Structure 1
Amino acid sequence: MRWLIPIFLYVLLEVYAFQVVKTMTKNLWLQIGYFVLSLLILGYVIYIFANYDRSVGPTKYTLRASGLLLLTIVPKLILVLFMFGEDIIRVCIAGYTYLTNTFFEGTATEYLPDRRKFISQIALGVAAIPFAGLLHGIFRGKYNFKVIRHVLHFDDLPAAFDGFRITQISDIHSGSFDDAAKIEYAVDLINEQESDLLLFTGDIVNTVAEEMDDWIDTFKRIKNPKYGKYSVLGNHDYGEYVTWNSQEEKEANFNAIKDIHNKIDFNLLLNDSAFVEKDGERIAVIGVENWGHNFKKAGDLTKASKKVAQEDFKVLLSHDPSHWEHEVKKHTDHYHLTLSGHTHGFQFGIEIPGFIRWSPVQYVYKQWAGMYDEMGRYLNVNRGFGFHAFPGRVGIWPEITVIELRKKTQLS
């Protein structure tokens, strides 16, 4: 029964889409070609997901299938909106014609007018926009790396750290990569920032440690800044989206994932902290395990901060931004800057600085991409380095964040 509604909606989608094709061309072979192509794509998607192996988890095949599904469904949804809207108008015209002919003229006519070709043309033109956007996102957008820069001012920043630069990356999702040259380019881009400190905020894989085997040497090329590289875990790093033969196998995978951080020269913080010292002053880098309002809650902020004094300047690494919203931002210990990721900005949206900023993920996460400031406490939600579930990015590009800390003065 749970499949009846999706099947009905998909059939409705195809019926309307096929009506557009029939309106646009009377060529029987083109109509048959469209029908066969739709069946082949649907069959491929059903085959891939029907044979999904939870002991393996997401693969490049499931990514490809989800991409094909969106490429076909999203444009057809646009067609349905136009065609359904036209049907409402046609029904109204039919009702008016029926009433006027029957009661005032006494004549019999065809009450339901034919579909208008120009409506189908407009619908196809509008549907081509998301189709082109999705195609671009799959083939180019997912590796369209952007460096996003922020300058933050603090009253209580230790003077020695005025001008201190932090690079943040997040959500590598190495199991999704399919272009080594693009990843090499991104690593070079990280190195070009020449920041003082490099921080990674979780999700190094999709599900299993082996996903990073081919990428260890690539990520090991990330230069070790003067003040080090620190990292935390994300929800995907716990192996909870795959079925294991035993608890021991799951724990072995988890240990292997933690070991990846050491292999690429990151200091993994597991509910722990470290101090960065410069010219006799210090700031604290605090890393919690994953804490999500709707995901795994392994993070322990109290434990992670036990070595940190209340007056210390604090940079907190916490993968899921809901942690900041529900626990961190009002904490009495005053966490100055929190760095998160997790949302990917949904890998789909519209961002035009100063004009519009929208993504479906904003209806789930209050803080979903970029820098947020409340009560003098900052949260940066990195849009992610890699991609997951959908093999592309549309309007929300992969991000390398560079944050410069500044000592606030009377003039700043």
Structure 2
Amino acid sequence: MEHLLLINFIFLIAILPIFYIRRTFFRRNIFLGRFIGNYIFITHYIFFLLIILGVVNYFYRLSNLNIMTIAFIVLPVFFIYAYYNFSIARVIKNDIQLEKYKTGKKIRIAFISDVHLSALTNKDNIEISLKRMAEEEPDILLIGGDLVDFSCKDIKADFSSSFREIEPKYGMYAILGNHEYHGGIDENIKYIESLGIKILRDDILKIEGINIIGRDDITNKKRKKIAYLKKKVNTDLPIILLDHNPNSISEAIVNRIDLELCGHTHRGQFFPYNLIVKKMYKNYHGYKKFGITHTIVSAGFSSWLIPYRVNSTSEINIIDLYY
């Protein structure tokens, strides 16, 4: 058992140089991308399983044959479960009442983030999830950044009509995430717009008596502060803020934003990173309210590189906003 743990620990540490080599020299290599995504996840959970079996073995002596048999039964079932969590986005619904307005109006918002379109993207999975979103008949689609994983040049599948089939009556709008910047911001913006999606980049949108502020990503060090952008809107109307990274939630609270929508965290994607990400943000996933400020942080519509999720699922947020 000790030898198995040591060997697997070496494989776990090997993730770092393999990932560096892929990111630095073979960024566009599809095979290496698929390999490292699976490698990262598999080595983690073989390591965790061996630790669990090691504890069991301390109290109940297990032969190496028994250990291997348990591993070969448990791991495939676990990987199927984790892939299922990743592959098809589930719908999460929230009813939010903005008490101070009381106009009797309602708007249905579809919110997604972190689609990470790349050469590794399974088009069928994306389109199945988009159809589930369309069935909810949203009035508007808001996308919280990282629609493109790196460079739009890497995307092999044709998504030119995939998003247009949703047809929300007030349109589709996206902000930028850190990944759009990594792969060439200008070309990625053109690609996103070619899908029928409008970019909000420190811009203000007014729809149905609601102000929507689309903030540029934190990667842009010259992006505008929330206080500056808020001066451009009618504060007698509700304010929705789109910001890719939820580290801005405290700033949104100070500026009395009504609803902030974020992504970026992936809810940690799998253990133990769930616990790390939870400590990093005021809200790392889901719905939380701070004073008058409602916040929703999406776990992501798909995922970056790793096609598995544990204690996390790909998701679509459907928000019925009453104001």
Secondary structure of the equivalent of 1:217? coil
Determine whether 1:311 maps to 2:236.
yes
**Partner of 1:348 in structure 2?**
270
The answer (yes or no) to whether the contact 1:345–1:359 under 8 Å persists in 2 is: no
Range moving further from structure 2, 217-226 or 257-266 = 217-226
Q: Name the amino acid aligned to 1:328.
A: A
Show CA shifts across 1:252-279 (max 9, x none).
x3111111232111221111101113xx
Once residues 43 and 156 of structure 2 are traced to their aligned partners in structure 1, the CA distance between those partners, rounded to angstroms, is 34
Once residues 123 and 384 of structure 1 are traced to their aligned partners in structure 2, the CA distance between those partners, rounded to angstroms, is 35
**Partner of 1:328 in structure 2?**
252
The answer (yes or no) to whether the contact 1:79–1:124 under 8 Å persists in 2 is: no
Deviation at 1:130, TM superposition (A): 6.0
Determine whether 1:15 maps to 2:31.
no
The answer (yes or no) to whether the contact 1:321–1:368 under 8 Å persists in 2 is: yes
**Partner of 1:155 in structure 2?**
99
Query: CA distance change for structure 1 residues 45 and 342 in 2, over 3 Å: closer, same or farther?
Result: closer
Once residues 318 and 20 of structure 2 are traced to their aligned partners in structure 1, the CA distance between those partners, rounded to angstroms, is 42
Once residues 314 and 103 of structure 2 are traced to their aligned partners in structure 1, the CA distance between those partners, rounded to angstroms, is 33
Determine whether 1:145 maps to 2:145.
no
Structure 1 alignment gaps of length 5 or more: 1-12, 19-34, 90-114, 243-252, 351-357, 408-412
Deviation at 1:296, TM superposition (A): 5.8
Show CA shifts across 1:193-233 (max 9, x none).
11111101100122112134633324343433222221100
The answer (yes or no) to whether the contact 1:79–1:123 under 8 Å persists in 2 is: no
Deviation at 1:49, TM superposition (A): 4.3
Query: CA distance change for structure 1 residues 121 and 393 in 2, over 3 Å: closer, same or farther?
Result: same
Secondary structure of the equivalent of 2:254? coil
> Which of the numbers 114, 117, 126 marks the counterpart of 1:174?
117
Determine whether 1:208 maps to 2:132.
no
> Which of the numbers 339, 351, 363 marks the counterpart of 2:261?
339
Once residues 191 and 121 of structure 1 are traced to their aligned partners in structure 2, the CA distance between those partners, rounded to angstroms, is 48
Once residues 204 and 403 of structure 1 are traced to their aligned partners in structure 2, the CA distance between those partners, rounded to angstroms, is 20
The answer (yes or no) to whether the contact 1:271–1:303 under 8 Å persists in 2 is: no
Q: Name the amino acid aligned to 1:395.
A: N
**Partner of 1:403 in structure 2?**
319
> Which of the numbers 196, 199, 211 marks the counterpart of 1:284?
211
Once residues 363 and 120 of structure 1 are traced to their aligned partners in structure 2, the CA distance between those partners, rounded to angstroms, is 40
Q: Name the amino acid aligned to 1:329.
A: I
The answer (yes or no) to whether the contact 2:265–2:285 under 8 Å persists in 1 is: yes
**Partner of 1:106 in structure 2?**
none
Once residues 291 and 16 of structure 2 are traced to their aligned partners in structure 1, the CA distance between those partners, rounded to angstroms, is 49
Structure 1 residues 28-67: aligned runs within 5 Å: 49=19, 51-54=21-24, 57=27, 59-60=29-30, 61-67=32-38
Show CA shifts across 1:270-313 (max 9, x none).
11101113xxxx1101010113xxx6645422443342023221
The answer (yes or no) to whether the contact 1:290–1:299 under 8 Å persists in 2 is: yes
Show CA shifts across 1:172-209 (max 9, x none).
10116443222221121121111111101100122112
Deviation at 1:344, TM superposition (A): 0.9
Query: CA distance change for structure 1 residues 127 and 323 in 2, over 3 Å: closer, same or farther?
Result: farther
- Among the aligned pairs, what percent are the same residue? 23
Once residues 286 and 153 of structure 2 are traced to their aligned partners in structure 1, the CA distance between those partners, rounded to angstroms, is 31
**Partner of 2:304 in structure 1?**
388
Once residues 17 and 260 of structure 2 are traced to their aligned partners in structure 1, the CA distance between those partners, rounded to angstroms, is 43
Query: CA distance change for structure 1 residues 336 and 130 in 2, over 3 Å: closer, same or farther?
Result: farther
Rg larger for = 1
Once residues 14 and 219 of structure 1 are traced to their aligned partners in structure 2, the CA distance between those partners, rounded to angstroms, is 50
Query: CA distance change for structure 1 residues 121 and 365 in 2, over 3 Å: closer, same or farther?
Result: farther
**Partner of 2:46 in structure 1?**
75
Deviation at 1:59, TM superposition (A): 4.9
> Which of the numbers 219, 225, 228 marks the counterpart of 2:162?
219
Once residues 177 and 16 of structure 1 are traced to their aligned partners in structure 2, the CA distance between those partners, rounded to angstroms, is 32
* Count of residue pairs brought into register by the alignment: 317
Deviation at 1:330, TM superposition (A): 1.7
Query: CA distance change for structure 1 residues 72 and 127 in 2, over 3 Å: closer, same or farther?
Result: farther
Determine whether 1:199 maps to 2:187.
no
Once residues 200 and 34 of structure 2 are traced to their aligned partners in structure 1, the CA distance between those partners, rounded to angstroms, is 31
Once residues 69 and 5 of structure 2 are traced to their aligned partners in structure 1, the CA distance between those partners, rounded to angstroms, is 10
Structure 1 residues 240-259: aligned runs within 5 Å: 253-259=184-190
Query: CA distance change for structure 1 residues 367 and 191 in 2, over 3 Å: closer, same or farther?
Result: same
Query: CA distance change for structure 1 residues 46 and 257 in 2, over 3 Å: closer, same or farther?
Result: closer
Show CA shifts across 1:218-249 (max 9, x none).
4343433222221100111101xx7xxxxxxx
**Partner of 1:364 in structure 2?**
280
Higher relative contact order (CA closer than 8 Å, sequence separation 6+): 2
Query: CA distance change for structure 1 residues 220 and 55 in 2, over 3 Å: closer, same or farther?
Result: farther
Scaled by the length of structure 2, what TM-score is found? Answer: 0.84
The answer (yes or no) to whether the contact 1:344–1:384 under 8 Å persists in 2 is: yes
Q: Name the amino acid aligned to 1:343.
A: T
Q: Name the amino acid aligned to 2:195.
A: I
Query: CA distance change for structure 1 residues 255 and 385 in 2, over 3 Å: closer, same or farther?
Result: same
